[in-house]
Amino acid sequence: MGVPRSLRREVLAMAITMAGLAACSGVDYGSNPQPTEPPPGPQVTVVTATGAITAKVDEFRALLGDPSNGGTAGEQPTGRREISWDGAGANPFNNKNDFPAAFFNTNVKSGAVFTTPGTGFRNDSLRFGEVNSAYADQFSAFSPTKIFAPVGSNVMDVRFQVAGQPTPALVTGFGAVFSDVDLPGKSTLEFFDKSGQSLGVYAAPTRSDAAGLSFVGVKYSDPIVAFVRITLGTGALGANVNDISAGGTADLVVVDNFVYGEPKQSASLSLAPLANVASAGGLDAFGFNGIASGFPTGKVFLTGGGSFDVSTASNVVPTDTRAVAGGGFRCIEGVAQGPLTGCADGEGVRWDTAQLLASTSFKCTAPEAVRPAVTGANTVVLLADFYRAGDGNDESFTAQMIVSTTDLDPNLPGDQTLWIQGVGCATAVVHFNK
């Protein structure tokens, strides 16, 4: 009987991580057999405010550290990032429901990518008055004049990447300004680590004055936060949806400024160390993010990266192959066909590699004929495990995926550089190096 797949992955990942640490530090991990006490967990500081919140927001900025790195590309040694929605680059998307999910790591390189189980995002300079005229008197801005909300949902995730790159990253903390919190405990930030485990849920205080602003920020002593789930009250905005303060049944809430620590490469998913190993050991490194679709149902957000040894790829399953890769995953729209069948709107936390495949056949849309894809220097074909919250360390789904720098389907508009089995393709941001 072979070693269970999940255990093989854990052992392989641990071995590579420890080898990388030893190579970097010069420590011989076999020379000291004496047990040591594990280090204490990261310390957490929580900052909250309601009413006049400026002083507390400034306090949280200081906790994260200076300088404010704005849209400077690349990982910065110190400091923080901040999103205020008010920059001129966002103006073309004002007051529409198509604000780009990756705007703040492509157009503006601030290391944040958004997902939602809803249909999109809206950056609004009219306090959402064009959605529902009552909203203009309900919501306020912290940094005039724009505020923000997901469309068709009251939940959104903020996932962190190295600024201007698809490389998954971790931050020390995150804070957000909320507008019009009426119900206690319903508008929250939930923090997750790189394995998708919750680090805690923190609520924004209810409004206390006419401006109606609230703030909550959470700072850890170490960069351990891979993504943050924001829940805004108890319902989504809509033309016929009124706030409880206006006779409705839902507490409607929107957000303004996001403030967060400088995104740092995750040790387990870092492309730079993997690229260094690749140069010495023949590995190829890659990173990507995109939203795949094309089949009758389903839209899936996928981000991540890792490294692989082309020479070990095999289509005989199971086979031990040399590939370490993983990242974040979320079903933006429910999937009702293929290996991800049953992944509902908003479900999904992370993915990791089960095996490096030598090749596969695929199609981006259901009516198309199948095409071949082969693992090589600029393309990787993986058998991957996908995990939902609540399923623990047991994979929820297993499916094939392709990441490539070349166009997988020239018959479709744009360059199709990501494929997920049974879901379709995406024009993804993809990065490979050797």
Q: What is the structure's pLDDT at 267?
A: 52
Report yes or no: 426 and 291 within 8 Å, Cβ to Cβ: yes
40 pLDDT band (50/70/90 cuts)?
A: low
pLDDT in tens, 185-202: 999 999 998 877 889 999
Closest by CA to 115, choosing from 313, 429, 348, 427, is 348
pLDDT in tens, 138-172: 999 999 999 999 999 999 999 998 998 878 899 99
Ranges of beta strands (E only) in 335-417 are 350-357, 359-362, 371-374, 379-387, 397-404
Residue partners of 211: CB distance under 8 A and separation at least 6: 51, 140
> Tokens in use for 64?
């994260």
Domain range annotation of the chain: 44-265, 271-433
What CATH code is assigned to 44-265?
Answer: 2.60.120
Q: What are phi and psi of 65, to 5 degrees?
A: 105, 155
User: What mean pLDDT is predicted for residues 46-56?
Assistant: 98
Q: What is the structure's pLDDT at 106?
A: 87
* Residue of 391 and 255 predicted with greater confidence: 255
* Residue of 213 and 267 predicted with greater confidence: 213
Q: What is the structure's pLDDT at 59?
A: 98
pLDDT in tens, 326-377: 888 889 899 999 999 999 988 888 899 999 999 999 999 999 999 999 999 9
pLDDT in tens, 219-244: 999 999 999 999 999 999 999 999 99
